[in-house]
Structure 1
């Protein structure tokens, strides 16, 4: 796996057990809903290039239920694509026709 500072992906919110969502009253007085997650690196790259997975498994073993799949998403490393043409592409490009230039 390449070294990357960012990973991206998605989670399936509809498959997360509702009891794992925690409603918290914040300092500004608003109630917000939180979900504790952890992002783990896969041992091997997945079928679709996923390098990480997201789990919402409770930290407390007593809260875990047998048979429940707590993996709720897949992620992969973000590899930025350069928009700059390579030197080979520049060398192979056709020269601009001066007649087409507006100045």
Structure 2
């Protein structure tokens, strides 16, 4: 499973796409429907996806920009050895260990 990371610009979200909903707990919260879409080509900054609000067809405004964020695949820096590395490593004897107990 890929992890996507990036940032969004809250001020680029069209206000009319923000919906105030009264939740079951009685608190009003603001929601935005979004879609994460894979780019056809990677951007110059390595972004592979973008995030956009997803207005209904009848809500779309000609010329309005609905994209408000860029994402790219997060590749964690794994410093732990893989199971294969461990299996291929030489065994350790008691003499090799300098443990305080």
Q: Same fold (TM over 0.5)?
A: yes
Q: Give every structure 1 segment of 4 or more consecutive aligned residues whose post-TM-superposition deviation is greater than 6 Å.
A: none
| Residues 12-23 of structure 1 mapped to structure 2, 5 A cutoff | 12-23=9-20
Count residues in correspondence. Answer: 84
Counterpart Cα distance in 2 of 1:84 and 1:20:
44
Which of residues 15, 28, 31 is equivalent to 2:28?
A: 31
Aligned counterpart for 1:56 among listed residues 42, 48, 53:
53
Q: Is the 8 A contact 1:57 1:71 kept in 2?
A: no
Which runs of 5 or more structure 2 residues have no equivalent in the other structure?
86-99
CA RMSD, aligned part only?
Answer: 1.7
Unpaired runs of 5+ in structure 1? 88-102
TM-score, normalised via structure 1 length: 0.74
SS of the residue 1:83 aligns to: coil
Q: TM-score, normalised by structure 2?
A: 0.75
Q: Which has the higher strand share?
A: 2
Deviation at 1:6, TM superposition (A): 1.0
How far apart are the structure 1 equivalents of 2:2 and 2:71?
Answer: 13
Distance, in Å, in 1 between the alignment partners of 2:14 and 2:37 is: 20
